[in-house]
Amino acid sequence: MTKSGTIRTGIGGWTFDAWEGSFYPDKLPKRRQLEFASRELTAIEVNGTYYSSQKPATFAKWAAEVPEDFVFSLKASRYCTNRKILAEAGPSIEKFLDQGIAELGPHLGPILWQFMGTKKFEPDDFEAFLDLLPTTLNGQPLRHVVEPRHESFCTPDFVEMLAKRGIAAVCADHPDYPMFADVTSDFVYARLQKGADDTPTCYPQADIEAWSKRFETYAAGGAPKDLPLHAPDRKVEAKPRDVFAFFIHGGKVNAPNGARLLKAKLAG
């Protein structure tokens, strides 16, 4: 067993006009943007899968354009999570998983199940939803991460519910949504969303330094002492964990710079 898990840093998507000529070299064809981004960073969170399905050939094409150790995190379809009764999401979950994502093969990272900010924690219904999430797809292990964005989820019961199934919750650095820093899986998934377009590195360099230390702590099997927990008395096994860290939303113009700086600090 290695002493630490793998820490991957990335951004949301790879197509954004403001990145042309800044992140992407001048005159780089759009068709080569994924190729470039996947060699500068180590992961990308795909938002497009939240809004519409893709074809198997599309996933296969993505997989063919990236390095061996690069991964995509896919945001699950809104039809799975934006519903009154989550226990009835089975057919939508099956449709999402069967659209061809298995074509990504080893490049398939965590699947992100994001919920509306108005969606409250109803324990029985949410537990039924979690039980609909399969652990494998065509023989390939699946990793699931949920992003509840209502404060009613900030309870030890929710944390235990996830831990029982080995499902992660998003460690969200967001001005309004709750952060779940509790470890409930063999990986940690962070979405850093407090960046600013007028900050060249998306986040101030001191903040990126602080997050790099937190991610190193998670990867080594610990938990950062400066992040609040919703189940502080819970005992967590100290073992290496993979970490996925994305600069998302706030400061999108400079998100690639933040991800590259974080990558460099982790490497150093």
Residue closest to 97 by CA, chosen among 134, 148, 149 = 134
What are the tokens at 22?
């800044």
Flag residues of the chain having pLDDT under 70. 1-2
The pLDDT score that the predictor gives to residue 224 is 97
The string of pLDDT tens digits covering residues 179-188 is 999 999 999 9
All structural domains of the chain: 7-267 (3.20.20.410)
Signed CA dihedral, 265, 108, 18, 21: sign only: positive
pLDDT at 2: 54
pTM: 0.97
- Give the pLDDT confidence score for residue 267 in this predicted structure: 85
